[in-house]
Amino acid sequence: MEQTKYLIAGCSHAALSALNSIRMLDQDGSLTLVTKDDHLPYSPTVLPYIVSGQSKPEKVKLRDDEFFAQNKVNFISGAGLSTLDVDNNSVTLQNGQEWQYEKLLLATGAAPAIPPIPGLTDTPYHVLRTMDDAVNLHAALESAKSAVVLGGGLIGMHAAENLIKVGVQVTIVEMRPQVLPGYFDAEAAKIIEQTFIENGVAMRIGNTVVGAAPDGEGAKVSLDSGDEITADLLLVCTGVAPVISYLEDGPVETDQGILVNDCMATNIANIWAAGDVAQAVNFYSGEKSVGGILPAAVEQGRIAGMSMINDPAINPYPGGVPLNTYGFFGNQAISVGVSDENALPKDTEVLLNVNEEEMTYQKILIGEGCLLGISGINTDFDPGIMWQLVLQRVDLEPVKEEFLSNPTDTGRDLMSRTWR
Ligand SMILES: Cc1cc2nc3c(=O)[nH]c(=O)nc-3n(C[C@H](O)[C@H](O)[C@H](O)COP(=O)(O)OP(=O)(O)OC[C@H]3O[C@@H](n4cnc5c(N)ncnc54)[C@H](O)[C@@H]3O)c2cc1C
């Protein structure tokens, strides 16, 4: 059996962030990174550009072999975690190797959740989460002229835009009443939907797919409205679920994801979890929830690594504050924190500024004097600063008017005073 001091499962944002934290204080401790993927690390967020051909797989590496050599990292790709034996502090990989660890980080992320649509398993479909998914989808475009995308979340919207840009006729089917719920409210989503329509995407919002079947080389989906859509390609982007199958029936506590405390430690000594796989405290509710966004994966990975190395500078994880910047057809949408006041207490102050002609939109949500969320389309505010204001619950009362008329400068000023 092979031995390593630190074993990290996964090689994406959470894993690499933990690696950084560990190497800050321990440059020599043996460190092994094992990942299911057969590629050097990349961000899943670039995959739509691989699909369209705008980016090439070899150009989007987050780290390369030289980095691993310099940082004394033993990088094993194409060999995911298969089983975990917590009594023996060891894991078995899909390639049959066995590794014993002193400290283990589970950063295995999330994988597409496939909805139980009758007929779907017999129908050819694509998903988009890994580099191989993107490369396969890119190859399929050679003969595809039309696509139906199930799901109007971030992944489906990114993919749809990149498909239409290479000349594929696209229909998005979203069962909820708006696209991008959780990131933007219904009004902002309308602006985004309209832009997609103007760019030739067919939008079937509020429609549920009730059946799927093969149609020649392609697929046919049936909607609850009775309509049927046929397409050369079917892309299923209906959500993701944490990858935890290797923990089945074991003692590591899971719910939707792996349950962790505010240092990303699981209930088992010497095992941590971070990123999309983890179920950590939610900033707003205090309950534990799975996240699914990149900044949270980076932050959780950073804290997990610090905890693994006993870094005295560690601060507990305060909970994730969503931060998304979303570009679509040359427009820029940003959402920080909560974007829908319906998810907040009734006395939340809502400040809305919409200019349909110029296609600008800005919404600020304030509760108990603090910023709870800010979202905008084609408006100018610094998402990093806004993120800090929410996270640090900075009191806006004394400067509220200035903040509402100029969030960026007022936010910067406030933060510079906080940091001083
Ligand atoms: C198309 C797309 C667009 C996105 N856009 C945005 C966006 O705009 N903003 C945003 O905040 N987020 C976005 N996301 C989500 C974001 O990519 C994730 O939140 C982030 O990648 C999570 O990082 P992670 O390290 O937790 O997991 P992942 O990135 O999911 O990585 C998991 C890692 O674990 C490995 N792995 C899986 N199973 C095993 C196993 N059994 N053993 C070992 N290794 C394993 C994988 O190979 C991979 O290296 C997007 C995702 C996609 C797919």
Provide the pairing of β-strand 360-367 with 349-355.
antiparallel
Minimum-distance ligand 1 atom for the alpha carbon of 37: 47
Question: Per-residue confidence at 108, pLDDT binned at 50, 70, 90?
Answer: very high
- Which of 209-218, 241-250, 286-295 shows the lowest mean pLDDT across its residues? 286-295
In the chain, pLDDT over 90 holds for what percent of residues?
80
Tell whether the model's pLDDT for residue 19 goes beyond 60.
yes
The predicted pLDDT at position 346 comes to 83
- Which of 14-23, 51-60, 72-81 shows the lowest mean pLDDT across its residues? 51-60
Q: From 108, 163, 303, give the residue whose CB has the most ligand 1 atoms within 8 Å, as the site to mutate.
A: 108
- Please indicate whether the domains covering 2-111+241-308 and 114-238 agree at the CATH topology level: yes
Residue 261 is which amino acid?
Answer: N
Alpha-carbon distances, residue 408 vs 152, 190, 384, 400, 402 (angstroms): 30, 25, 10, 12, 10
The predicted pLDDT at position 342 comes to 80
Closest Cα to atom 30 of ligand 1: 109
Higher pLDDT: 320 or 131? It is 131
Q: How high is the mean pLDDT of the chain?
A: 94
List, as one string, the DSSP characters of 182-224. Answer: TTS-HHHHHHHHHHHHHTT-EEEET--EEEEEEETTEEEEEET
Question: Per-residue confidence at 345, pLDDT binned at 50, 70, 90?
Answer: confident
Closest Cα to atom 20 of ligand 1: 294
> What digits encode the pLDDT tens for the residues 266-313?
999 999 999 999 999 998 888 999 988 899 999 999 999 999 999 999
> What digits encode the pLDDT tens for the residues 110-127?
999 999 999 999 999 999
* Average pLDDT score over residue span 23-51: 95
Q: Give me ligand 1 centre to Cα 276, in Å.
A: 7
Residues facing 101 on adjacent strands: 4
Burial of 205 (0-12, 13-18, 19+ CB in 10 A): middle
* Average pLDDT score over residue span 192-217: 96
What whole-number distance in Å separates Cα of residue 192 and Cα of residue 179?
8
Q: Give me ligand 1 centre to Cα 252, in Å.
A: 21
What whole-number distance in Å separates Cα of residue 265 and Cα of residue 272?
4
> What digits encode the pLDDT tens for the residues 363-418?
999 999 999 999 999 988 899 999 999 998 999 988 988 888 888 899 888 888 77
What whole-number distance in Å separates Cα of residue 256 and Cα of residue 238?
16
Total-model pTM: 0.93
- The phi and psi torsions of 118 (rounded to 5 degrees) equal -55, 130
- Ligand 1 contacts (CB < 6 A) are 9-15, 34-37, 44-45, 47-48, 80-81, 107-110, 128-129, 154-155, 158, 243, 246, 275-276, 292-295, 297, 324, 326
The predicted pLDDT at position 180 comes to 95
Tell whether the model's pLDDT for residue 420 goes beyond 60.
no
Tell whether the model's pLDDT for residue 83 goes beyond 90.
yes
CATH code matching the domain that covers 114-238, chosen among 3.40.50.300, 3.50.50.60, 3.30.70.330, 3.40.50.720? 3.50.50.60
What whole-number distance in Å separates Cα of residue 148 and Cα of residue 171?
5
Domain ranges of the chain: 2-111+241-308, 114-238, 323-419
Sign of the alpha-carbon dihedral angle for 368, 370, 374, 379:
positive
What whole-number distance in Å separates Cα of residue 264 and Cα of residue 167?
44
The predicted pLDDT at position 284 comes to 85
Q: Give me ligand 1 centre to Cα 182, in Å.
A: 18
Total Cβ atoms within 10 A of residue 76: 17
The CATH class given to the 2-111+241-308 domain equals alpha beta
The predicted pLDDT at position 381 comes to 87
> What digits encode the pLDDT tens for the residues 132-188?
999 999 999 888 999 999 999 999 999 999 999 989 999 999 999 999 988 899 999
Q: In sequence order, which residues have a C-beta less than 8 Å from that of residue 66 and are 6 or more positions away?
A: none
The predicted pLDDT at position 419 comes to 58
DSSP single-letter state for residue 92 = E
Q: Give me ligand 1 centre to Cα 39, in Å.
A: 14
What CATH number was assigned to the domain covering residues 323-419?
3.50.50.60
- The phi and psi torsions of 9 (rounded to 5 degrees) equal -100, 120
Helix (H) or strand (E) holding 266: none
Helix (H) or strand (E) holding 286: none
Q: Give me ligand 1 centre to Cα 108, in Å.
A: 8
Residue pair 201/164 in contact (Cβ under 8 Å)? The answer is: yes
Minimum-distance ligand 1 atom for the alpha carbon of 246: 41
The predicted pLDDT at position 303 comes to 98
User: 132: helix, coil or strand?
Assistant: helix
User: 280: helix, coil or strand?
Assistant: strand
The predicted pLDDT at position 404 comes to 85
